[in-house]
Amino acid sequence: MNRINIYNPNIAAYTKSAINAIESGWISNHGKYIGLATEKLKEIMKCKHAILMANGTCATHCLFIALKHAHPAITKIYVPNNAYVAAWNASLMEYSECQLSVMRMDASTWNICTDEDYIATLEPNSAMLIVHNVGNVINVPRLKRLRPDIVFVEDNCEGFLGKYGDPFHGDTPPQYSGTSDATLCASVSFYGNKIITTGEGGAFFTNDDAVYEHISRVYSQGMSAKRYVHEVHAYNYRMTNVQAAFLYDQLCDLDAIIAQKTQVFETYVALLNEHDLIRSGRVRLYEKEAGTQSTHWIFALRIVGNTKTVDETAAFFDANGIDVRPFFYPIHAHAHLSGLHGDNDADNAVSVRMNQEIIMVPSSPGMTLDEQRRVIDAVYTFIYANDI
């Protein structure tokens, strides 16, 4: 029985420009594909500024560098409880643990709670890191309307190519997540398991000229106009020309890539319906916020009432040759973040339950129908074998 991996990137068709970059000798952070991919990204995303970076975590770190630079008086930052740990690690590169506050999660959307009453309780003149978990997009323009005093930055590494808007105010068409003026800046990832991949790689987006100018220096050693004289504390977060070449070729074929991933998601939903798993309430998918379009990054499902531990659930699927991932752990599960908890026991219980019940399943763009059927058959067997 062949093992079904969580993700096999479809990169073989997008090597032409990368080979050209190698043959040209421009293999580091200079070369024509840096400019071509940057301009193509801006064109697609309709964002004023984009900076290619070495990976998504570098780009997310730059969110907090930008926040501290543009809003130095802000000392309270709200961060989601269940999120990939890179979001928290990046925040701790610029802020202390006591300045970070754990946000309540929503068991229906698998994102932060965006109820108006809850958002109203947040401290004034603070900042919030938005994370679009597993591609389910949070409506940032709506949040900005509710709390214009809060500065929003977006970890869009999982939400890349999703969209948001505010259907209740104005007639502005949906925008790609991370590109609205409601947000100060956003990060994306081009890791190997993302819709668009360069192996590693990421990008930073902003419509703010001053933020762009600052991050343009900080991400690339901070050199002044005089060579080898540097003017700011800076980093080497640059993408290589070879990575940018992979990125450029995929961006030029974006519609086909999106269509392929959309088909994978639609097939999973159809197979779940064949087994009556959604209608019976045994499986739930995330609920979308009004005015948003999720992105088809990785398919995830919630096995309602699962009493097995995360390890026991993974072991079952592993024995069936299927690679799955748990939903993100509550932040206190990480040893270096064990002192961080939600506001109360009820909030913490929701985060623990989400981690236990939600799994991410194989979502490679080239998955066959038979492979997807094997995955959902295994989900069905797991549920009924354990009488969930």
pLDDT greater than 80 at residue 170: no
Q: Residue 229 — pLDDT band, cuts 50, 70, 90?
A: confident
Alpha-carbon distances, residue 246 vs 5, 91, 119 (angstroms): 22, 29, 40
pLDDT band of residue 119 (cuts 50, 70, 90) is very high
The strand pair at 100-103 and 292-293 is best described as unpaired
Mean pLDDT of 165-179: 77
For the structural domain made of 12-251, what CATH number should be given?
3.40.640.10
Reduce the DSSP state of residue 241 to 3 states and report it. Answer: helix
Range with the lowest mean pLDDT among 2-11, 161-170, 174-183, 223-232? 161-170
User: Encoding tokens for residue 328?
Assistant: 């993100």
CA distances from residue 95 to 65, 67, 341, 359 in whole angstroms, order as listed: 10, 10, 17, 31
- The pLDDT value given to residue 239: 98
Q: How far apart are CA 289 and CA 180, in angstroms?
A: 17
Question: Sorting pLDDT into bands at 50, 70 and 90, what band is 342?
Answer: confident
Residue 273 and residue 373: Cα distance in Å, rounded? 12
Q: What is the DSSP string of 51-109?
A: EEESBHHHHHHHHHHHHHHH-TT---EEEESSS-HHHHHHHHTTS-GGGEEEEPB-TTT
Which helix (H) or strand (E) element contains residue 49?
Answer: strand 49-53
Confidence band for 226, pLDDT divided at 50, 70 and 90 = confident
3-state helix, strand, coil in the chain (%, to 5): 40, 15, 45
Partners of residue 183 on adjacent β-strands: 152
What are 124's strand-pairing partners? Answer: none
Name the segment(s) of the chain with CATH classification 3.40.640.10. 12-251
pLDDT in the model for residue 36: 98
- Regarding predicted confidence, which is higher, 229 or 8? 8
List beta partners, residue 360: 300, 325
| Average pLDDT of the segment spanning 139-148 | 96
State yes or no: pLDDT of 172 exceeds 70.
Answer: no
Taking all residues of the chain, what is their mean pLDDT, rounded to a whole number?
A: 95
287-331 pLDDT, tens digit per residue, is 999 999 999 999 999 999 999 999 999 999 999 999 999 999 999
- Listed in order, the ranges of the chain carrying CATH 3.90.1150.10 are 254-385
pTM higher than the cut 0.85? yes
Cβ neighbours for 204, distance < 8 A, ≥ 6 positions apart:
50, 51, 53, 59, 62, 63, 185, 186, 187, 215, 219
> Which homologous superfamily does the CATH classification assign to the domain defined by 254-385?
Aspartate Aminotransferase, domain 1 (3.90.1150.10)
For the chain, the C-alpha Rg in angstroms (whole number) is 21
Q: What is the pLDDT of residue 386?
A: 75
Q: Tokens standing for 230?
A: 């540097």
Closest CA relative to residue 295, chosen from 196, 223, 199: 196
**In percent, how much of the chain has pLDDT > 70?**
98
* Sheet architecture: strand order including 300-303: 283-284, 300-303, 358-360, 325-326
Q: How confident is the model at residue 225 (pLDDT cuts 50, 70, 90)?
A: confident
Q: What is the pLDDT of residue 149?
A: 98
